[in-house]
């Protein structure tokens, strides 16, 4: 039985980190294909971490070097982010020289930082705080110019080159890596998170209110909350005076809770035990992201629950553009508010949006197809590992220690 060793910077927490959901998707896929999967982490388990043993995943704390000796030989190793590869990559390659080394990028951190800086610059310049269409249309070459000088970009790209295969959830990011940074296509695999298509979703008459789900410690989601509170929500409430918005999130800070205004229909709440239950009861998911990377987990959850959503071009970016969006994509606060109000009030429009959820899911996020594609790519890479490393000369240079 082949063995996959996953190395995390922390124990997976679905409530606090969308990347944890992506990692678990991948680990479950390997288990389904008959692999033995183990997970190791240098941190202490958090209070709400996922019970990996219940999923058939063996666990090991690697806070000391002796723990590595107790791990079984690995055929493949998966780092959950580039900092994990930086910390443990050399040790892994020494202990498992013939193991396929993979890097999971659940949204390029360097791209997220660059987009955040572009947003900050725009806000400092005092431009229209409601219209971000130009920002959302930032072309790849301009993103590259902002990313390339960054230490985070250089560290993240170095980890991509050092590994044998990088799992990237967003096709836009794959294009940026290939055409912007010159990463060979054979080092990359499109690996989006996966979810099952909804079965018997709740109809319009059984739903109420708007909902948004995220992590208040995530700068992108907290920024969306600020934009909602100060710009978007007042516009929406003028159109729907009785509208209610429930914002759920892990790590609710004092700043986030201070935005709680139930008299205005805005309810800032804490983490969710079951996001599915809340999302499936909501009429519309509101996700006005102004920066970020990867595939937004709350929008994926909205698709799974057949809940129509209103988001920005950046929020929808990880979902491809071939299928009709199940709701609306807008680049201004006015556009978002108007679209959300219309979607909420018009049952026919809402039903057409709900009907678009399943086709979008099946096209890009089908578990059977995506898991088969990943396992096939891993097995092919294992069978051609010597050639992969021979032609990845940049990676070989980066893996070379000064003493070796």
Kindly state whether residues 266 and 299 are assigned to the same domain.
yes
Is residue 131 a part of any domain in this protein? no
Give domain status of residue 121, yes or no. no
Residue 94 shares a structural domain with residue 208: no
Residue 319: inside a domain, yes or no? Answer: yes
Asked if pLDDT for residue 17 goes beyond 60, the answer is: no
Q: What is the pLDDT of residue 323?
A: 72
Average pLDDT over residues 237-264: 93
pLDDT in tens, 359-401: 999 888 999 999 999 999 999 999 999 999 999 999 999 998 7
Confidence at residue 86, expressed as pLDDT on a 0 to 100 scale: 95
Q: Are residues 372 and 359 in the same domain?
A: no
Whether residue 52 sits in one domain with residue 93: yes
239 and 160, same structural domain? no
Angstrom CA distances, 53 to 38, 49, 50, stand at 9, 11, 9
From the number of C-beta atoms within 10 Å of its C-beta (0-12, 13-18, 19+), residue 367 rates as middle
Q: Is the same domain home to 388 and 276?
A: no
Q: What is the mean pLDDT of the chain?
A: 91
pLDDT in tens, 295-323: 999 999 999 999 999 999 999 998 976 67
Q: Is residue 130 part of a domain?
A: no
Position 328 pLDDT exceeds 60: yes
Check residue 380 and give its pLDDT: 96
For residue 295, give its domain range.
Answer: 204-364
Q: Of all residues in the chain, what percent carry a pLDDT higher than 90?
A: 74
Tell me if 26 is assigned to some domain. Answer: yes
Are 216 and 168 part of one and the same domain? no
**Is residue 377 located within the same domain as residue 346?**
no
Residues 282 and 316 in one domain: yes
Q: What is the pLDDT of residues 189-228, one digit of tens each?
A: 999 998 887 788 999 999 999 999 988 989 999 999 999 9
Position 156 in a domain: yes
Domain count, the chain: 2
Do 359 and 274 lie in one domain? The reply is yes
pLDDT of 69 above 70: no
Across residues 73-92, what is the average pLDDT?
94
Whether 58 has a pLDDT exceeding 80, the answer reads: yes
95/152 same-domain check:
yes
Q: How far is residue 33 CA from its own chain's centroid?
A: 23
Regarding whether 149 and 68 lie in a shared domain, the answer is yes
Residue environment code for 134-146, b if the CB has 16+ CB neighbours within 10 A, otherwise e: ebbeeeeeebbeb
> Does residue 129 lie in a domain region?
no
Q: Which ranges of 125-247 would DSSP assign to H, the alpha helix?
A: 133-136, 140-147, 151-162, 171-175, 219-227, 233-239
Span 114-161, pLDDT tens digits: 999 999 999 999 888 899 999 999 999 999 999 999 999 999 999 999
CATH number at residue 225: 3.40.50.2000
**What's the rounded Cα separation, in Å, for the pair 351 and 398?**
53
Q: What percent of the chain has pLDDT over 70?
A: 94
Residue with the two structure tokens 């516009």? 235
265 within some domain: yes
Position 383 scores a pLDDT of 96
**Helix (H) and strand (E) counts for the chain?**
19, 13
pLDDT at 16 over 60: no
Report pLDDT for 401.
74
């Amino acid at each position: 039985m082949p063995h996959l060793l996953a190395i995390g910077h922390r124990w997976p927490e679905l409530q606090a980190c969308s990347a944890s959901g992506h990692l678990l998707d991948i680990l479950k896929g390997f288990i389904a294909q008959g692999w033995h999967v183990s997970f190791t982490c240098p941190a202490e388990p958090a209070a709400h971490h996922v019970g990996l043993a219940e999923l058939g995943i063996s666990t090991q704390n690697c806070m000391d070097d002796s723990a590595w000796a107790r791990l079984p030989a690995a055929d493949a190793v998966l780092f959950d982010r580039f900092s994990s590869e930086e910390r443990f990559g050399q040790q892994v390659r020494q202990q498992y020289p013939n193991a396929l080394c993979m890097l999971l990028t659940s949204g390029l951190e360097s791209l997220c930082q660059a987009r955040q800086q572009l947003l900050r610059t725009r806000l400092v310049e005092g431009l229209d705080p409601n219209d971000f269409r130009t920002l959302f249309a930032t072309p790849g070459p301009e993103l590259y110019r902002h990313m390339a000088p960054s230490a985070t970009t250089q560290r993240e790209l170095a980890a991509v080159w050092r590994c044998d295969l990088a799992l990237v959830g967003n096709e836009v990011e794959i294009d940026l890596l290939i055409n912007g940074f010159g990463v060979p296509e054979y080092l990359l695999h499109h690996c989006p998170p996966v979810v099952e298509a909804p079965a018997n979703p709740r109809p319009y008459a059984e739903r109420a209110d708007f909902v948004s789900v995220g992590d208040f410690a995530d700068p992108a989601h907290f920024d969306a909350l600020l934009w909602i509170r100060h710009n978007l929500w007042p516009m929406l409430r003028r159109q729907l005076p009785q509208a209610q918005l429930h914002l759920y999130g892990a790590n609710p800070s004092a700043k986030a809770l201070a935005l709680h205004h139930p008299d205005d229909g805005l309810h800032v709440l804490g983490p969710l035990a079951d996001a599915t239950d809340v999302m499936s009861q909501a009429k519309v998911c509101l996700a006005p992201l102004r920066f970020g990377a990867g595939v937004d987990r709350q929008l994926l959850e909205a698709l799974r629950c057949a809940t129509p959503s209103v988001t920005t071009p950046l929020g929808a970016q990880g979902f491809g553009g071939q299928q009709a969006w199940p709701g609306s994509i807008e680049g201004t606060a006015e556009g978002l508010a108007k679209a959300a109000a219309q979607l909420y009030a018009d049952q026919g429009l809402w039903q057409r949006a709900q009907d678009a959820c399943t086709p979008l899911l099946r096209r890009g996020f089908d578990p059977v197809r995506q898991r088969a594609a990943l396992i096939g790519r891993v097995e092919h890479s294992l069978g051609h590992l010597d050639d992969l490393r021979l032609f990845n000369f940049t990676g070989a240079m980066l893996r070379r220690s000064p003493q070796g």
